[in-house]
Amino acid sequence: MPVSARQRCHAVLTGLVALATAVVVSVSAAPPASAADTWTEVGSDRADPLTESQGLASVEVPAGSPNRYTGIGTIPVDLASRGWNHVGDPDASYDGYYIEPYQRDSGSTKMFRVQAPGGAWSEYVHTLSPGEALNNSWVAVSPGGQWMLSGEYGTMNRLLVFPTPGVNAGTSPSANLPQAATVRLDHAVRDVQGCDFSGPTTLLCSSDDPEGSLFGITKPLLQIDLSAEPNGTADVSGHVTALRQLPLRSACSGTFEAEGIDYDRRTGTLRVIVVSPGFCVLTDSKTYRFTRG
pLDDT digits 0-9 by tens, 117-126: 999 999 999 9
Check residue 38 and give its pLDDT.
Answer: 85
Q: Is the pLDDT of residue 26 over 80?
A: no
Range in 19-28, 256-265, 266-275, 276-285 with the lowest mean pLDDT:
19-28
Question: What residues make up the domain containing 90?
Answer: 3-292
Please state the rounded mean pLDDT for residues 269-285. Answer: 98
Residues sharing a CB contact under 8 Å with residue 88, sequence separation 6 or more, in sequence order: 54, 55, 70, 100, 101, 102, 103, 136, 137, 138, 139, 193, 194, 260
Question: Residue 237: which pLDDT band, with cuts at 50, 70 and 90?
Answer: very high
Higher-confidence residue of 245 and 35: namely: 245
| CA atoms of 60 and 226, how far apart (whole Å) | 24
Please state the rounded mean pLDDT for residues 141-150. Answer: 97
Give the total number of structural domains in the chain.
Answer: 1
Give percent above pLDDT 90 in the chain: 86
Q: Is the pLDDT of residue 23 over 70?
A: no
pLDDT digits 0-9 by tens, 55-65: 999 999 998 99
Q: Is the pLDDT of residue 214 over 50?
A: yes
Q: Is the pLDDT of residue 1 over 90?
A: no
Q: Is the pLDDT of residue 282 over 50?
A: yes
What is the pLDDT of the chain when averaged over all its residues? 90
pLDDT digits 0-9 by tens, 238-249: 999 999 999 999
Q: Is the pLDDT of residue 175 over 90?
A: yes
Please state the rounded mean pLDDT for residues 251-280. Answer: 97
Higher-confidence residue of 11 and 118: namely: 118
163 close to 176: Cβ distance less than 8 angstroms? no
Check residue 37 and give its pLDDT.
Answer: 52
Look up the CATH number of the domain holding residue 124: 2.115.10
Q: Is the pLDDT of residue 6 over 60?
A: no
